[in-house]
Chain A
Amino acid sequence: MTNQTVTDISAQDSDALVGPPLWLLAELTYDCPLHCPYCSNPTDLSDTKNELTTEQWFKVFSEARDMGAVQLGFSGGEPLLRKDLEELVKHARGLGFYTNLITSGIGLTEKRITKLKEAGLDHIQISFQGADPELNDAIAGRGNAYQQKFNMAKSVKAQGYPMVLNFVLSKQNLEQIEDIMRLSCELEADYVELATAQYYGWAYQNRDHLLPSREQLVEAEAIVNKFRDEQDGKGPHFIFVTPDYFETRPKACMNGWGTTFLTITPDGSALPCHSAKMLPLTFPNVKDKSINDIWQQDFSFEYFRGDDWMPQPCKGCDEKEKDFGGCRCQAFMMTGDMHKTDPVCSKSEDHHLIQQAIDSANNPSKPIVPRVNQKAMKHAKDTELNITRIKI
Chain B
Amino acid sequence: MSLSRTPSPKPNGGWASRGLTDDGLDAAAPSAYSMDDPIANDAQWSAARGKSQTTRGYPTIQTKNEGFFKRTRRQVSQVLPTFNTFSPKDKNWRDQEKLGRGRWYPRGGTGQISTVRTYLGNVLRKFKFVFLVLGVVALLTTVMSRANIRARYRGNSRLGGGSKFVIILAANEDGGVTDWKGPKEWAIERDSVKNKRLYAARWGYNLEIADMSTKKRYAHEWRESWEKVDIIRNCMAKYPEAEWFWWLDLNTFIMEPSISLQNHIFNHLSDNVYRDINYYNPLNITHPPNSVFLDPASRSPTSDNLTSSIDLVLAQDCSGFTLGSFFVRRSAFADQLLDIWWDPVLYEQKHMEWEHKEQDALEHIYTSQPYIRTHVAFIEQRKINSYPSAACGKQGPLGEVILDTKVHYNEQDRDFLVNMAGCKWGRDCWGEMYLFRELSNRLNRNLWHRLADWTKERFNGAKESVSGKKDEETIAEEAGVKQ
| A and B physically associate | no
